[in-house]
Amino acid sequence: MATTADFRNGLVIEFNGDLFTIVEFQHVNPGKGAAFVRTKLKNVKTGKVLPNTFIAGSKINVQRVERRSYQYLYTDGESYHFMNQETFEQTFLGKELISAPDFLKEGQEVDITFHAESESYLACELPAYVTLEITYTEPGERGNTATNVMKNATVETGANVKVPLFINTGDLIKVDTRTGEYSERVKA
């Protein structure tokens, strides 16, 4: 059993029956009264961040969470199928555990986080940026690079992304999976 002296950013603890990651913490030793630790905790499943204060020296239950590399295979409508890169065993996850399911492309590598003690899956994270091909957009015009006007485009995964006017069907673009926004055009 650990104490608040063992706090560090990224440590996963059990708190109020859920798993939380320590986003930031600060040891406070006021001139009068007992010392305490002010923290910001992020729920591993929901992503909600909440502030909490612990009395210095109080016991905490540290949990072991691991990240493993998987490859996305396909979806059958309800579940998404992934293959472990080392053992080649397949895993099935629901859409709610995947950070950006609209940008999953067959053969793409992802990181799956799971609770080591219960072997339960917590989240599936895509890389920060993915390269996708534009399958449909209105024709672009040469020279429209000076304005910030955007148009709709459909990428190979079926997702819609706002892109600049000069992007054409067949172009490769880089998309930020955290926000779903266009980042840049990729030269083929």
Instruction: Point out the domain boundary residue: 95, 125, 155.
Output: 125
Q: What is the domain count for the chain?
A: 3
Q: Does 148 share its domain with 174?
A: yes
Instruction: Point out the domain boundary residue: 62, 90, 107.
Output: 62
pTM: 0.76
Reported as a single tens digit per residue, the pLDDT across 45-68 is 777 899 999 998 899 999 998 888
The enclosing domain of 31 has a CATH number of: 2.30.30.30
Full residue range of the structural domain in which residue 57 is found: 2-62
Report yes or no: 65 and 116 within 8 Å, Cβ to Cβ: yes
Q: Does 72 share its domain with 118?
A: yes
Reported as a single tens digit per residue, the pLDDT across 112-165 is 988 888 888 888 889 999 999 999 998 866 666 667 788 899 999 999 999 988
Q: Does 18 share its domain with 54?
A: yes
The enclosing domain of 115 has a CATH number of: 2.40.50.140
- DSSP β-ladder status, 59-62 and 160-164: unpaired
Instruction: Point out the domain boundary residue: 125, 145, 172.
Output: 125
Cα 137 to Cα 3: distance, rounded to the nearest angstrom: 56
Q: Which of 132, 125, 134, 122 is nearest to 168 (CA)?
A: 134
Q: Does 18 share its domain with 56?
A: yes
Dihedral over Cα of 71, 173, 164, 181: its sign: positive
Q: SS3 sequence, 115-129?
A: ECCCCEEEEEECCCE
Q: Which of 187, 181, 174, 102 is nearest to 148 (CA)?
A: 181
Span 99-107, average pLDDT: 90
